């Protein structure tokens, strides 16, 4: 008998476009992930509204995020792709789990403290209870692994605590998930501040390459990338800008640092920056073409979302019914 695959759940907010760093660090690995695991991808639109959103933009971005996921190589026949708000069980389970989560645990969350300090004028209840909704997202599907960055690991730990607390009272209802921290590949740094990681929230557009940037914009950003006054293409701790460009070129071409140093010896930074930009443009081209094709096919995207929501809802309903019975809600 074939062994059941372990399940992976990943929620991606629809605000902001993937950066080159996201693409090489995570997005390119998703198709391979679905060969090994039973994958569920949710466009987390409910999480997005802890910050005030323009409704028309949020709807558009949610559709675009579905297209981005599919363009990355996620197959909706192999994986479930859906929009979070299309499956009401997420919000329904969130309320129950909130009753099993001490208030103090929520106020200790790093992201709550950071965002509260950053936006003191808008410390809303959603910002505080965001990790409970995240716990519901994960636990609804009997998730084994949650791919997260180190900054989100605390939320998975809270999910585990809530699940263990519930199971301690009612028996083995929830699967206890583990954080899946991606193996650190080439870390892509800011083109303007190479000591900092490239971030989609960076206010300096020249610092960030986004996966949907036009070729001329990519070329312009790389031409403006911070290097140094030495003029030689080599990797070194005291040459973070050049080392970052070499890392990007290596990821896009498969060439080693030694091969890159040899290829650009004595040529200066202008020629090298042009080559890096062209390698990124070539790497992103098939992804961009597939994204545009998908986005133009509204009927297909709607079909994927409807099918994904139905499949996710069927899985979620089984678990939610079990939870409702356990806590004593009257069943009709």
Catalytic residue ranges: 115, 197, 200
The rounded distance, in Å, linking the Cα atoms of 274 and 278 is 6
Whole-angstrom distance, CA of residue 288 vs CA of residue 283: 10
Give CA–CA dist 196/118, Å, rounded. 19
Distance CA 223, CA 95 (A): 51
From 175, 193, 181, 129, select the one nearest 152 (Cα to Cα). Answer: 181
3-class state of residue 189 by DSSP? strand
Q: Where are the alpha helices (DSSP H) in 99-200?
A: 103-107, 110-118, 125-139, 153-170
What are the residue ranges of helices labelled H in the chain? 20-25, 30-36, 45-48, 55-71, 89-98, 103-107, 110-118, 125-139, 153-170, 215-223, 240-253, 257-263, 268-296, 298-327
d(CA 127, CA 132): 10
Q: Which residues contact 304 (CB under 8 A, 6 or more apart)?
A: 66, 70, 76, 81
Structure tokens at 192: 């303007």
Specify burial of residue 32 (Cβ count, 10 A radius: 0-12, 13-18, 19+).
exposed
């Amino acid at each position: 008998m074939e062994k059941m695959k372990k399940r992976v759940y990943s929620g991606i907010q629809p605000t902001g476009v993937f950066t080159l760093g996201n693409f090489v660090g995570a997005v390119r690995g998703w198709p391979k992930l679905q060969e090994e695991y039973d994958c569920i991808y949710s466009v987390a639109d409910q999480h997005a509204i802890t910050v005030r959103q323009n409704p028309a933009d949020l709807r558009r971005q949610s559709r675009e995020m579905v297209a981005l996921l599919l363009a990355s190589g996620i197959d909706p026949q192999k994986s479930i792709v859906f929009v979070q708000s299309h499956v009401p069980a997420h919000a329904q389970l969130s309320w129950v789990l909130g009753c099993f989560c001490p208030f103090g645990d929520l106020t200790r969350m790093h992201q709550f403290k950071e965002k509260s300090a950053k936006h003191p004028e808008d410390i809303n209840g959603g910002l505080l209870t965001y990790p409970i909704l995240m716990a519901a997202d994960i636990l609804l599907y009997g998730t084994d692994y949650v791919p997260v960055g180190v900054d989100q690991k605390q939320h998975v730990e809270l999910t585990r605590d809530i699940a263990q607390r519930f199971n301690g009272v009612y028996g083995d209802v929830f699967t206890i998930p583990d954080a899946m921290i991606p193996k650190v590949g080439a870390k892509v740094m800011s083109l303007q501040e190479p000591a900092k990681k490239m971030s989609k929230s960076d206010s300096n557009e020249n610092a960030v390459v986004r996966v949907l940037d036009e070729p001329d914009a990519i070329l312009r950003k790389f031409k403006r990338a911070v290097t140094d006054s030495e003029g030689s293409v080599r990797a070194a701790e005291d040459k973070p800008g050049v080392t970052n460009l070499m890392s990007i070129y290596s990821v896009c071409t498969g060439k080693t640092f030694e091969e890159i140093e040899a290829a650009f010896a004595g040529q200066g930074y202008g020629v090298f920056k042009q080559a890096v930009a062209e390698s990124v443009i070539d790497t992103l081209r098939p992804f961009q073409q597939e994204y545009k094709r998908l986005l133009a096919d509204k009927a297909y995207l709607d079909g994927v979302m409807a099918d994904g929501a139905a499949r996710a809802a069927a899985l979620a309903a089984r678990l939610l019914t079990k939870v409702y019975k356990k806590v004593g809600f009257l069943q009709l």
